A and B are shown apart, each in its own frame.
Chain A
Amino acid sequence: MTTEAPIVIVGTGLSGYSLAREIRKQDKDIPIVMVTADDGFSYSKPMLSTGFTKGKEADELAQATSEAMIEQLNLDLRTYTTVTGIDTEAHELVTGEERIRYSKLVLAWGADVIRLSIEGDGQDRVFSINDLMDYRAFREALAGKKRVAIMGAGLIGCEFANDLRNGDYEVDVIAPSDTLMPGLLPRPAAEAVKSALIDLGVGFHLETVVDRIDREGDGVTLALANGETLQADLVISAVGLRPRTDLAKASGLEVNRGIMVNRALETSAPDVYALGDCAEVDGHVMLYVLPLMACSRALAKTLVSERTEVAYGTMPVMIKTPCCPTSVCPPPSDAEGEWELEQDGNNVKALYKAADGTILGFAVTGSYAVEKQALSKEVPPIHD
């Protein structure tokens, strides 16, 4: 019975559409149903923090409408459809009233933004930007405005800070850490990005948090824990992402930080797979593009022909801060070694080396950023 059912993919972000594209490279006809809670536009999430730098509106960052994707990839696409359950026994995906039978089910529904609960009546001025529809709403609200406060100094907060300055907005960044992108960048590289962003005109308020956001006229006043107050028209909340696991857990799948899958992207339930920002692949939660591209290629083979395990190579992360181009490949958490540093102003080359000289990770900024490809070849792959 189930052999007649389609492959069902939940999510039309980069993971979902990349997987569908990889499947179609091998099989033009196998039925694919895609289910998405949003409008099904194809876009690249990392590009959402480049709108002003590229001079593009929200919809110009989209690459294709849902109609174009249906035609391009020969899909049965259900937009504005929210999944409410997975019946793994019956091989059925539940979307409210409807049940969609699957031969194979792929969860590619991404990650949720973490939202802080902050006091004050200015909450409707606070935006989290996690998808194209969020970005559209933000850009609409931004029309005619001047000042943006960003909560969070992680990769997304820093990229938006740079992009909004390129759009000539006044930008303040507030974060509890004492530097930028802690946990991703070694300190000298983080300081280089910070110094370049300061030169660009970004105001930093580190080692403090936002206590209150209150309406004031058309904008808001932010009261910081260190006693400072800031005025802004809009606030971006960029304090982190969390893989979406609730529905998987409620459906009996094993979850940890993400939905747990092995290197064949198999969850604990038969014929149910996961990839992208919602998945914890062989213990790795990596919310970046390269891992999901590798996963979509392997999984397409598994779904169409034979079971294939993904092999992660080196996974460098590009940080899109054009004022100080940066690329980082963090060393594994259990790596033993030391950082070795070359520095000339905001140009930093930091290599994490083992005792025998093997490079286990790196961070390069400014003029050293061009060395990212050469360095990536030196770092041992995640999977041998």
Chain B
Amino acid sequence: MKKWQCVVCGLIYDEAEGWPEDGIEPGTKWEDVPEDWVCPDCGVGKEDFEMIEIG
């Protein structure tokens, strides 16, 4: 499981947690997140997220 960070606002998408509020189940890999999902904080698209290594 990896974590991805929005380069615009710093929001982190954790594959282990998914994003249940938007119907994205825990364990959903980044590549399986729908293309039209947008950052819940700032509204930018998937293309503005980058993979980050956290601890």
Contacts and interface: CB of A to CB of B under 8 A. Distances in A.
Interface in A291-322: 293, 316-318, 320
A274 to B, nearest CB: 20
Contact of B8 (A50, A289, A317): A289
A18 B8 CA distance: 8
29 contacts: A14-B8, A18-B7, A18-B8, A21-B7, A44-B8, A44-B10, A44-B42, A46-B9, A46-B41, A47-B9, A47-B10, A47-B42, A50-B41, A61-B10, A63-B10, A289-B42, A290-B43, A290-B44, A293-B8, A293-B44, A293-B48, A316-B43, A317-B43, A318-B42, A318-B43, A370-B21, A370-B22, A373-B36, A377-B36
**Which size class do A's interface residues fall under?**
20 to 34
A46 B11 CA distance: 12
Nearest to B50: A21
A377 B38 CA distance: 12
B42 to A, nearest CB: 5
Interface residues of B, number: 14
Interface string A51-64: 00000000001010
Contacts of A289: 8, 42-44
Chain A CB within 10 Å, residue with most, of B8, B36, B41: B8
A61 B43 CA distance: 18
- 10 nearest A-B pairs in the assembled complex, by CB-CB distance: A44-B9, A318-B43, A63-B10, A47-B9, A289-B42, A44-B8, A293-B44, A46-B42, A289-B8, A373-B36
